[in-house]
Chains A and B, each alone.
Chain A
Amino acid sequence: MNWGMLLALFGAGLAVTTNCFGSSKGVGMVAEAASPVITEDSSKFGKLLVLMLLPGSQGLYGLVITILSLTQIGVLGGEVIPNTAAGVARGGLFLVACLPMALGGLASALLQARVALTGVQLISKRPQDSGKAVTSASLVELYALLSFVSSLLMVMSINGIKW
């Protein structure tokens, strides 16, 4: 069993799974909340669509980290992680590198959805304030981006580490 490879694949899988879970749950919640508003006034769909999409971005970030990891560990290119003690350590590093995205993305997707939900109520009552609703929800996006950049930098630099 190549434990190094297993750990790296686990990390790559975790990054996309947790983010897709958070995003699907978030988008689903906001879309559910938006449907009664759209039923009442379908012209609000455009404004609500932005709010519905916002918690979905984390899933994409997770996918990018997964693909990048796979290109570094010999699945989609790069050097295959050797079945040695150093290989296990390298696999562990890939797992650790994926964690910021896996955890930060999951949390930010769910929390962003909650902000977006309040935005749905705002648009329902005062459609002219849709910009404020979108801006508020976008603030949470910053933390998903920070997680993404952290994981990205780590994944890209592991193979350059001299053991």
Chain B
Amino acid sequence: MGASITKYAYAVSGAHVYEKNYFRKSDMDKLLAAPSYEAVVAILQERGWTMPEDTRDSGKILDLELSRAWSWVQLSAPDPKIFRVLILRNDFHNLKAGIKCLLSDFDVDAQFCKPSSIDPSIMKECIENHAFEQLPAPFAELGQEVYDLLVRTGDGQMADVLIDRKCLDEITKEAEASGVDLLKEEMEIYTATCNIKTAFRAIKTGKDGAFLEKALSSGNKTISREKLIACAGAEKKMDELLSYLSTTSYSSGTKYLSSSPAEFEKWVDDQMLSLLLPTKYSPLGPEPLIGFYLGKEAEIRNIRIILAAKQNNLPLDVVSGRLRRLYE
């Protein structure tokens, strides 16, 4: 770990002050009960959320709020580098979206995820000018490789595999390098469950072990990459996979895989959030800041679901069943 935990006094105190405005379960019920999308936006505005010019763009509203929380972490933490792992997946997403949009003439700006460690405008410029070498490692080499692959073969799936695998490998590496146990545990759950989802989808669509060899990231402690690959080579692939998963620490969640992948996603999010709860009252160290940011992400995820439901007039009971656990 970089900075001494006592240097986090200001950052943590500020985060706890900020957290007082986080939405609780009762607030989520109010949002759910709001009569329209506009009414939900009005509630968000009352809570001090910054609004873009066009409030019908829910993505922009949520991006602004999440970026605000991220800015606090970056500006106040004595060692902001260790938190980069929390948003690393956005950078990889932006690289993927940038290259694909360029090759298919789509507007890339709407596809970029925020916050990200590489400014989306810089990412866009580098991709448009084919100047991947101007991006930091590992994006420079990966960007060039994926771009060449797409131009040569047009194989979008393999491009996704390359980027997603590298993303998970980098997350594992950076979490380990941070020296923060909570970060390691959180990222372990994230990367291991990503591998589980990849293996499940690959087996369901009839992919072989060679595909999984390329797609699955390495370095997980709670799940065996080799065993997941071996499942793809077995006679009853899916049975073998589910049987192996039932022996892991993810067994209570993987039972949802066959019935409802969305339920599994919710289970993963709730597991990750439950690890954060003890940090809510910590006065020092990087852990409360991790809780602060991931807690905001959980809140944003729920509000995204509610806003989408209001825009599409979805029934309340379906929406409330999808809502994640909150950092409260």
A residues bordering B, Cβ < 8 Å?
25, 29-30, 32-37, 39-40, 114, 117-118, 120-121, 124-125
Please tell me if the beta carbons of B10 and A125 are within 8 angstroms of each other in the complex.
no
| Given A40-B17, A124-B17, A124-B20: A33 in contact with B6 (beta carbons within 8 A) | no
Please tell me if the beta carbons of A120 and B10 are within 8 angstroms of each other in the complex.
no
Please tell me if the beta carbons of B284 and A34 are within 8 angstroms of each other in the complex.
no
Q: A33-B283, A36-B13, A118-B281 are in contact. List 14 more A-B contacts (CB 8 A).
A: A29-B6, A29-B9, A30-B9, A32-B9, A32-B10, A34-B13, A36-B10, A36-B14, A36-B17, A114-B284, A117-B9, A120-B283, A124-B17, A125-B20
A33 is contacted by which of B9, B20, B281 (Cβ under 8 Å)?
A: B9
Please tell me if the beta carbons of B283 and A118 are within 8 angstroms of each other in the complex.
yes
Residue among B14, B20, B283 with the most chain A CB within 10 A?
Answer: B283
At the interface, is chain B mostly helix, strand, loop or mixed?
A: helix
Please tell me if the beta carbons of A120 and B13 are within 8 angstroms of each other in the complex.
yes
Please tell me if the beta carbons of A25 and B14 are within 8 angstroms of each other in the complex.
no
B294 within 8 A of A: no
Please tell me if the beta carbons of A121 and B10 are within 8 angstroms of each other in the complex.
no
Please tell me if the beta carbons of A121 and B9 are within 8 angstroms of each other in the complex.
no
B residues bordering A, Cβ < 8 Å?
6, 9-10, 12-14, 16-17, 20, 281, 283-284
For B12, give the chain A residue with the smallest CB separation: A33
Please tell me if the beta carbons of B13 and A121 are within 8 angstroms of each other in the complex.
yes
For A29, give the chain B residue with the smallest CB separation: B9
Q: What A residues does B12 contact at CB under 8 A?
A: 33
Q: What A residues does B17 contact at CB under 8 A?
A: 36-37, 39-40, 124
For B76, give the chain A residue with the smallest CB separation: A36
CA gap between A25 and B4 in the complex, in Å = 13
For B10, give the chain A residue with the smallest CB separation: A32
Please tell me if the beta carbons of A35 and B284 are within 8 angstroms of each other in the complex.
no
Q: What B residues does A25 contact at CB under 8 A?
A: 6
Q: What A residues does B13 contact at CB under 8 A?
A: 32-37, 117, 120-121, 124
- B20 to chain A minimum Cβ distance, whole angstroms, is 6
Q: What A residues does B284 contact at CB under 8 A?
A: 114, 117
Please tell me if the beta carbons of A124 and B16 are within 8 angstroms of each other in the complex.
yes
Residue among B10, B13, B16, B281 with the most chain A CB within 10 A?
Answer: B13
Q: What A residues does B10 contact at CB under 8 A?
A: 32-33, 35-36
- B173 to chain A minimum Cβ distance, whole angstroms, is 32
Q: What A residues does B281 contact at CB under 8 A?
A: 118, 121
- B69 to chain A minimum Cβ distance, whole angstroms, is 14
For B14, give the chain A residue with the smallest CB separation: A36
Q: Which 3 pairs, one residue from A and one from B, show the smallest C-beta to C-beta distance? A: A36-B14, A117-B283, A33-B13
CA gap between A37 and B10 in the complex, in Å = 10
CA gap between A125 and B292 in the complex, in Å = 15
- A136 to chain B minimum Cβ distance, whole angstroms, is 12
| Given A33-B283, A114-B283, A114-B284: A121 in contact with B6 (beta carbons within 8 A) | no
CA gap between A154 and B302 in the complex, in Å = 64
Q: What A residues does B16 contact at CB under 8 A?
A: 121, 124-125
| Given A25-B6, A30-B9: A121 in contact with B14 (beta carbons within 8 A) | no
Q: What B residues does A40 contact at CB under 8 A?
A: 17
CA gap between A133 and B290 in the complex, in Å = 25
Q: What B residues does A114 contact at CB under 8 A?
A: 283-284
Q: What A residues does B14 contact at CB under 8 A?
A: 36
Q: What B residues does A32 contact at CB under 8 A?
A: 9-10, 13
- A53 to chain B minimum Cβ distance, whole angstroms, is 16
- B121 to chain A minimum Cβ distance, whole angstroms, is 31
Q: What B residues does A34 contact at CB under 8 A?
A: 13
For A120, give the chain B residue with the smallest CB separation: B13
- A124 to chain B minimum Cβ distance, whole angstroms, is 6
For B21, give the chain A residue with the smallest CB separation: A40
CA gap between A121 and B281 in the complex, in Å = 8
CA gap between A35 and B16 in the complex, in Å = 12
